[in-house]
Amino acid sequence: MTSQSPPSASFRRFQLITTLFLVVLLALTTEGLAKKPTSEDFNADRNQLIALMLSQQLPAQHFSHAPLDNNLSQRAFDLYLRQLDPRKRFLLESDVQQLNAFAGYIDDELSSGRIVLPDAGMTLLNDRIRQVEGMIDPLLDQGFDFNREEYLELDAKKLEFAKNIKQLENRWHLMLKMQVLESFFELLETKGKQQPDLLTNIDPELHPALIQEAVNKVRESTHRSLSRLAHQSRQDHYDRYFDTVARAYDPHTDYMAPTLKEDFDIQMSGSLEGIGALLREDEGLIKVARIIPGSAAEKQGQLQAEDTILAVAEKRGELIDISEMRIREAVSLIRGPKGTEVRLSVLKPDGTRRTISIIRDVVRIEETYVKSTVIRHGNTPVGYLRIPSFYRDFTAMINGKESRNVSDDTTAELISLKRQKIEGLVLDLRNNGGGALTDAVQVSGLFLPGGPVVQVKDAQGVIRVLEDEDPAVLYDGPLIVLVNQFSASASEILAGALQDYGRAFIIGGEHTHGKGTVQAMMDLNKNLPLFHLQKYDDLGALKLTIQKFYRINGHSTQYKGIEPDLVLPSLFDYLETGEKYLDYSLPWDQVDRVRYFRWQGDRLGKEQSRQLGSQWVNRSPAFKTIKEETSKARVRAQQTLTGVFAASMWKDRQVAKATRDEAKAVGLLQEDPEDETGQHAAKKIEDQVKSDPYIQVAVHILGESLPASGSGP
């Protein structure tokens, strides 16, 4: 008889976690186990293979080379728990304690292929969803005292999981009361357009028919939402679990299930139809990552990055709650034929809520391209050049077809501006989310006489310097670059290079986005281990962070972004947006600087430009409004304990409306899209320039710094 070595520590831990899982299952009701959703296409062997590949490929291929150990397991568990019940509407403290037993052992699950956490989480969640479903009708039937002062914490980070069923029931009482009041106010305002006398007194007790209609709507939408949540497939739970493991490495590393990979491929091919907003899944909620230039959402003007979409409805249809909905399901509801209307219930970052109506459209491709115009400051012609993204049609290039790209378009626009004898230039990179790195280098070469532009470091520590090899300079006059918190990636590389060379004066918020990393797609189907010869269905893909950007001065653009030479107030100042606020983002660091020669041609003096800009801002009505509204928004964002009673919620609606009206009055917001015609023509670039306070201050600085000067605001 051969002797056996004692089991390893990791195996003993795995035995323990398996035992704990059995305890969790035994603690649940027999009914809960009997009704656990299953998926016909769930394949345990396939999921074991995905787990094994993640455990091998993530440590080996990710830029950080971080081991998949207990530390990564804890990170992954925290992300898993937050996406499982992001608004803390279902799980009890006791449920979380049971799941906490898995926190340090995700690495063991993946490497062994014996996966139990997603099944345990699914079973616990579904059991609680069914209990909540049983609460809804009794709570709605017993009614609410709409004038009783009650309060609900809306920030899930400040909210604890309910200690018991009674506390959970009270939480749902408040949530349902809030939903009924919101629905009531929407009905009241809609009917009030035809019958203004209805708005003379907003006390719900005086409008029993409208309250009943609101209750019916909330009842239907809540049951529909809970039913959808309870019927999420087992595979959905596994896919989310795998994704949390990937995102524990950094926020741009993802596991993409086959359907998500298809959506990603469609997005990257440029097939953009619907509202034109890029969405991301954030702890189980659907958030707006970016608004596409030339899209229906940009034209409408009310939906913005960092907004959370809570519900979706067709015109005159009932709102469908998309909380905790998979992003592909949410997108399928938001997409639709050109010319149709979609309504979005949106939670703004400052805590205000509103319903936004958007007429779906295909993206106006011409609006995504580089644009320019000439602005007069007194007698001084100043050029304005907007680069929405660093676009390049790689598919056309591969097929040998003519490929439109940002470098050629920027060259053409600069030539046109020079023919108009501009004496200064404003380069607008605001909301530019990046794109082709090669174009960021080429565009920089239009303003610089050759030399290094950016350093790229790979996972092996090898640094490559990308250079502009053309010594010719197309535009050599004074230059101002506009950026904001949504300028990211390639746009940060361009702005950083122009700043390092002393070529341009940078204006913007406190920092740009801070995305200084490069991702690559790894098709798991093409990376199967040799001993896995069995053919499985599509395994999906990994989007992995593999490289990091560094400026020529050696500083990373990651995490900190670009710090402007002149910081201006922004409506986004109160937002915690950018890489530094994302979970587990890679840190800022630096490498050796490269040799380069600073710009010796025409340029703006920093101190003089700062003084001119500050003087303009202090006299500008628009910036006065921006400061006031940002201050109010910051206060609202911090006050997350909201009053759930009629007087408080009505006041909040009026404050939000007044804020929109003030912003529109100084040109910070487009016309309210909720007019009767539904016709919202896009403004011409000349009109946008005239009403944009950031462009105005840049033009003022250039105009006052050049020989011919004009007037102030």
Helical ranges in 28-142 per DSSP H:
30-34, 44-61, 70-84, 93-100, 106-112, 117-142
| pLDDT reported for residue 396 | 62
Q: Please tell me whether residues 212 and 261 are part of one structural domain.
A: no
Q: Please tell me whether residues 241 and 152 are part of one structural domain.
A: yes
pLDDT at residue 713 tops 60: no
Is the separation of the CB atoms in 700 and 616 below 8 Å?
Answer: yes
What CATH number has the domain bearing residue 323?
A: 2.30.42.10
Enclosing domain of residue 82: 9-247
What's the average model confidence in pLDDT over 648-653?
A: 92
Q: Please tell me whether residues 20 and 140 are part of one structural domain.
A: yes
Q: Please tell me whether residues 148 and 196 are part of one structural domain.
A: yes
Which pLDDT tens digit goes with each residue over 347-374?
Answer: 888 888 888 999 988 766 666 799 999 9
Residue 479, helix vs strand vs coil: strand
- Per the prediction, the chain carries an average pLDDT of 86
Q: Please tell me whether residues 174 and 99 are part of one structural domain.
A: yes
* DSSP conformation class of 198: G
Q: Please tell me whether residues 550 and 679 are part of one structural domain.
A: no
* DSSP conformation class of 555: B
Report if residue 222 sits inside a domain.
Answer: yes
| pLDDT reported for residue 383 | 97
Which region among 143-152, 395-404, 445-454 has the lowest average model confidence (pLDDT)? 395-404
Report if residue 421 sits inside a domain.
Answer: yes
Report if residue 451 sits inside a domain.
Answer: yes
The domain boundary, picked from 304, 334, 362, lies at 362
- How confident is residue 549, by pLDDT bands cut at 50, 70 and 90? very high
Which region among 615-619, 663-667, 703-707 has the lowest average model confidence (pLDDT)? 663-667
Helix, strand, coil share of the chain (percent; to 5): 45, 15, 40
Q: Please tell me whether residues 168 and 275 are part of one structural domain.
A: no
Report if residue 612 sits inside a domain.
Answer: no
- How confident is residue 532, by pLDDT bands cut at 50, 70 and 90? low
Which amino acid appears at position 645 of this protein? F
Report if residue 230 sits inside a domain.
Answer: yes
Helical ranges in 501-566 per DSSP H:
none
Residue 517 or residue 679, greater confidence: 517
| Whole-number percent of the chain with pLDDT over 90 | 64
Report if residue 713 sits inside a domain.
Answer: no
Is the separation of the CB atoms in 221 and 318 below 8 Å?
Answer: yes
What's the average model confidence in pLDDT over 511-516?
A: 96
Q: Please tell me whether residues 670 and 584 are part of one structural domain.
A: no
Domain count, the chain: 4
Is the separation of the CB atoms in 371 and 419 below 8 Å?
Answer: no
Q: Please tell me whether residues 112 and 188 are part of one structural domain.
A: yes
The domain boundary, picked from 362, 382, 411, lies at 362
Report if residue 711 sits inside a domain.
Answer: no
pLDDT at residue 14 tops 60: no
| pLDDT reported for residue 260 | 62
The domain boundary, picked from 247, 282, 309, lies at 247
What's the average model confidence in pLDDT over 293-309?
A: 86
For residue 549, what are the β-bridge partners? 456
Q: Are strands 424-428 and 380-386 parallel, antiparallel or unpaired?
A: parallel
| pLDDT reported for residue 13 | 45
Q: 363 to each of 252, 272, 358, 525, how far by Cα in Å?
A: 25, 6, 13, 33
pLDDT at residue 682 tops 50: no
| pLDDT reported for residue 472 | 96
pLDDT at residue 308 tops 60: yes
Report if residue 686 sits inside a domain.
Answer: yes
Residue 515 or residue 323, greater confidence: 515
Q: Please tell me whether residues 326 and 393 are part of one structural domain.
A: no
pLDDT at residue 193 tops 90: no
Is the separation of the CB atoms in 336 and 317 below 8 Å?
Answer: no
| pLDDT reported for residue 295 | 83
- How confident is residue 594, by pLDDT bands cut at 50, 70 and 90? very high
Residue 286 or residue 148, greater confidence: 148
Report the run of H or E that residue 454 belongs to, with start and end: strand 451-458
- How confident is residue 313, by pLDDT bands cut at 50, 70 and 90? confident
pLDDT at residue 176 tops 90: yes
| pLDDT reported for residue 30 | 31
Is the separation of the CB atoms in 473 and 448 below 8 Å?
Answer: yes
What CATH number has the domain bearing residue 593?
A: 3.90.226.10
- How confident is residue 320, by pLDDT bands cut at 50, 70 and 90? confident
Q: Please tell me whether residues 386 and 469 are part of one structural domain.
A: yes
Q: Please tell me whether residues 71 and 155 are part of one structural domain.
A: yes
Specify the residue for token string 């970016």: 290
- How confident is residue 26, by pLDDT bands cut at 50, 70 and 90? very low
